[in-house]
Amino acid sequence: MDEFPELNQPVRKNAYSIPVPSNLRLKLRKEFEKKYESKQRYLMKKFSDDWFRLLEEQPPADQTVRDFFDEKHNTHELWFINGLCKILLNCQYTELDESLTQVQSASLETPEHNLVNQQTNKSSDTSSKQPTFPVDFYAYEPSSWVGREELLQKLSEKIGGSCRLLLIVGITGIGKTALSERLASVELVNWLEGDWKNRFKRENFDYEGKATDFASVATEWLEEWGEKVPTGDNKSELLLQKLTEHLCNNQVLVLIDSLERLLTGNQQDGWGDFADEWWRKFFLSLLSAKSCKSRLIITSQDLPVVLIDSRYSISWYRQELYGLEESEQEAFFKKTGLDVSSDPVNKSFLLRIGKAYMGHPLVLKVIAGEINQTFDKNVEAYWNDYGDKIKQIERILAEAERGNTLGKKDSLQLHNLTYQLQNQVNKRLEAAFSRLQKDVPDAYLLICVASVYRTPEQKEAWLMQLEGLVDGECSKERQEKALNELMNRFFVEISVNHNNKRLLGQHNLIRSLALAHYEQILKELHSPEAETNLA
């Protein structure tokens, strides 16, 4: 093998074995058991879910994990070792301390392992080595973070002031979790004073099987902090008092991801209340307490209306997140290793892609990864394959500027431009659409039918489209409820025109998928079965 493989490639491209240092095996086993062992059993489903979510790759087989921790296996494939390091140690294999990569037995030295050590030593000698943290930060990547400086400054000042609960909201993939992790690891790191174990708590509800009831989560937190867990018939009330007391009297930074999974409601009364009422009581108790030393940073795709409607507005702050600006997009592409400075053609192609996707961070990350890996950093080759779709978007926007604002038959296909976008972005968008369709069908129909507009329009235009699609009478109240639900889930982008009239629009990515769903709705409405039912 002539050179050490790039570990930012898809993991199974690193499909050769290296010796497993005993110190590293022991370290990884301890961390694995800490996260994925319960009652002397490995929680393999949770591990597989984390692997897929964090690495965006097919997880290894259960037996592969067990074989790795069996000391009879002296070597193992690098893709798997590197994946474990990312999940358990928050770094790549090449970023490990030399004490963890040194093989004790000289007989196990191989050319591949020498290359690994050379790369490790090379990394440790450079001042650009990225920091590692004693907790899992799976969205924030220091090596590719760009922009949002003013926002970070503003939010860190909020947290340092009277804001006890910071709510970061926006559509899926817009960078909510990365922003919260960045705040915790950089802007607020001194606030923790190095005591990550007692002063930092992370809760992520974005995977199946995770307990979401207040009692289970509160019990877990208190046990980790060494607090006595109350029991009895009124356990939830006692847990609420104990947890509130701990957070008010101790300086703890709590990160909560995917709060939307705790919310419930119905089409008639609306969405945004907590499925477990004790969560609502908990958050309100923190907001209403006379003083509170702790701070909560929460991400959500949906608005927890019961908190927003509370009277404790001085104690919380809502930040809606949007895509990266053009200058930030350029900086991002440069950080990922793509040529945007010396080649104006490449720069133009990349910025046109970024504009079409309105700076959506996850999309840009996926596209940059595809260009780096599949196209060997050749931006023009990527454009030759997919540029026609971007040009189509540009033509549609140009037509809209000339006054042709209706595009019922537009086919944007931004959500499924490539296989990787389908796999890493569209799945998340489809999940959000599916949840909306299940929870509030009227709101789902509204986002789909409003996709016929190429540009932002006044509210009346959107509601007129819904009224024309829904069978039977669609009252103004019903229309307003559907629209409010879309706003509470950030499917709508709000702007103001030159006449100071509020306009409603859709992110290009949302509109692309909404058009596809609208086309399917029309097919179903005109199907023989539907026509028979209507007759």
Spatial separation of the C-alpha atoms in residues 453 and 492, rounded to whole Å:
12
Q: Are 300 and 488 in contact (CB under 8 A)?
A: no
By three-state DSSP, how is residue 500 classified? coil
Q: Please give the mean pLDDT across all residues of the chain.
A: 80
Q: What are phi and psi of 259, to 5 degrees?
A: -60, -25
Residue whose structure tokens are 């009330």? 237
Stretch 224-246: mean pLDDT, rounded? 87
Most confident of 113-117, 124-128, 310-314, 443-447: 443-447
Closest by CA to 137, choosing from 177, 174, 172, is: 177
Q: What are phi and psi of 400, to 5 degrees?
A: -65, -40
Q: Are 152 and 123 in contact (CB under 8 A)?
A: no
Spatial separation of the C-alpha atoms in residues 60 and 469, rounded to whole Å:
47
Pairing of strands 295-300, 165-169: parallel
Stretch 163-176: mean pLDDT, rounded? 91
DSSP 214-242: HHHHHHHHHHHTTPPPP-STTHHHHHHHH
Output the six-digit token pair for 118: 């050379």
Q: Are 140 and 132 in contact (CB under 8 A)?
A: no
Is pLDDT at 136 greater than 60 in this prediction?
Answer: yes
332 CB contacts (<8 Å, ≥6 apart)? 144, 146, 147, 324, 361, 364, 368
Is pLDDT at 108 greater than 50 in this prediction?
Answer: no
Spatial separation of the C-alpha atoms in residues 535 and 531, rounded to whole Å:
6
- Under the banding of pLDDT at 50, 70 and 90, the label for residue 352 is very high
Q: What are phi and psi of 495, to 5 degrees?
A: -140, 175
Is pLDDT at 328 greater than 90 in this prediction?
Answer: yes
Closest by CA to 490, choosing from 320, 361, 304, is: 320
Is pLDDT at 525 greater than 80 in this prediction?
Answer: no
Spatial separation of the C-alpha atoms in residues 46 and 134, rounded to whole Å:
20
The three-point CA angle 49-51-53 to 5° equals 65
pTM of the model: 0.71
At residue 412, the pLDDT reads 78
Residue whose structure tokens are 């309100």? 284
Is pLDDT at 299 greater than 90 in this prediction?
Answer: yes
What whole-number percentage of the chain has pLDDT above 70?
A: 84
Q: Are 327 and 341 in contact (CB under 8 A)?
A: no
At residue 482, the pLDDT reads 84
Q: Are 243 and 264 in contact (CB under 8 A)?
A: no
At residue 116, the pLDDT reads 32
- Under the banding of pLDDT at 50, 70 and 90, the label for residue 285 is very high
Is pLDDT at 3 greater than 60 in this prediction?
Answer: no
Is pLDDT at 115 greater than 60 in this prediction?
Answer: no
- Under the banding of pLDDT at 50, 70 and 90, the label for residue 313 is confident
- Under the banding of pLDDT at 50, 70 and 90, the label for residue 153 is very high
At residue 251, the pLDDT reads 93
At residue 410, the pLDDT reads 81
Stretch 172-188: mean pLDDT, rounded? 89
130 DSSP assignment: P
Residue whose structure tokens are 């390091």? 85
At residue 266, the pLDDT reads 63
In 10 A of CB 23, how many CB atoms?
16
Enumerate the β-bridge partners of residue 300: 169
Is pLDDT at 138 greater than 90 in this prediction?
Answer: no
Is pLDDT at 267 greater than 70 in this prediction?
Answer: no
- Under the banding of pLDDT at 50, 70 and 90, the label for residue 133 is low
C-beta contacts of 389-392 below 8 A and 24+ residues apart: 389/413, 389/414, 389/417, 390/352, 390/353, 390/356
Longest alpha-carbon distance in the chain: 82
Stretch 163-184: mean pLDDT, rounded? 91
Spatial separation of the C-alpha atoms in residues 354 and 363, rounded to whole Å:
9
pLDDT tens, position by position, 79-101: 888 888 888 888 888 777 766 76
